[in-house]
Amino acid sequence: MLELKVADYVAQVTLNRPEVHNAFNAELVARLTETFEGLRARDDVRVIVLRGEGASFCAGADLNWMSAMVNYSYAQNLDDARALARMFEVIDHCPKPVIARVHGAAMGGGVGLVAVCDLAFATPEARFAFSEVKLGLIPAVVAPYVVRKIGYGHARALFMTGERFDAETALRIGLVHRVVPAEQLDEAIQQAIANLMQNGPQAMASAKMLLHATQTLPVDELRSLTIARIAELRISPEGQEGIRAFLEKRKPSFAL
């Protein structure tokens, strides 16, 4: 269902339902939420890689799960949607950098997973779609993250048409950050991990908090927040070490 391996300060979170292209069901949603809630506080984790086992990254909703939804009441649908929304929120607000390793299909909620990651690497063969409208539905709970990631104009066209798009299109609209041949994908991700390991963990967590604040706070509140936060970081042990290391032309102690 879901595998977690931690080594060398990297957590590998693997969707492991290859027989259904790693499609979501209620159990996988719960497991992902629980896993990311646990990872946020682990001192032995600095970077998280989210990946899919088998031929695809994540094909969206499982057919059996969708079959059950047909008979759900309104209240049951609310609970189901809340659980899915909570999963995306937890991943999105994880204080550690999250990298999506995308191959094969990333459909519906699978695209939502890509959108809540900080970095996304895809193979040229990867395919994406918001196909919900073809089922008489909408990409509801992923919308806040997708629109923020790719912009209103691109989201409007893709949400309306439900058409599939390729990795180069995903790169052009900002959904993924690099398109890499399959045989070079893991090497490219490892290079990104090595770069992230040079950064201050608290600084990266604060940068994510700042980015989220820019999306929600009015300018006056945001200004006050940024002033206070940079002052706090400058006197923090990590900030002091980083500044001293730079001035002394040495590697900071937090760099791995």
**Any idea where the domains of the chain sit in the sequence?**
2-196, 201-247
| Cα–Cα distance, 70 to 54 (Å, whole number) | 28
Q: Cβ neighbours of residue 83 under 8 Å, at least 6 residues apart? A: 26, 29, 30, 33
Q: For residue 209, count other CB atoms closer than 10 A to its CB.
A: 14
Among 99, 184, 158, 166, smallest CA distance to 126 is for 166
- Note the pLDDT of residue 65: 83
- Note the pLDDT of residue 184: 98
Q: Would you tell me which CATH number, out of the four given (2.120.10.30, 3.30.70.1880, 3.90.550.10, 3.90.226.10), belongs to the domain 2-196?
A: 3.90.226.10
* 3-class state of residue 39 by DSSP: helix
- Note the pLDDT of residue 64: 82
Among 123, 139, 124, 128, smallest CA distance to 175 is for 128
- Note the pLDDT of residue 56: 98
The strand pairing partners of 4, in sequence order, are 13
Q: Are 162 and 132 in contact (CB under 8 A)?
A: yes
- Note the pLDDT of residue 63: 80
Token readout for 200 is 């201050």
Q: Write out pLDDT tens, residues 103-129.
A: 999 999 999 999 999 999 999 999 999
- Note the pLDDT of residue 119: 99
| Cα–Cα distance, 30 to 58 (Å, whole number) | 15
Residues of the chain whose pLDDT is less than 70?
none
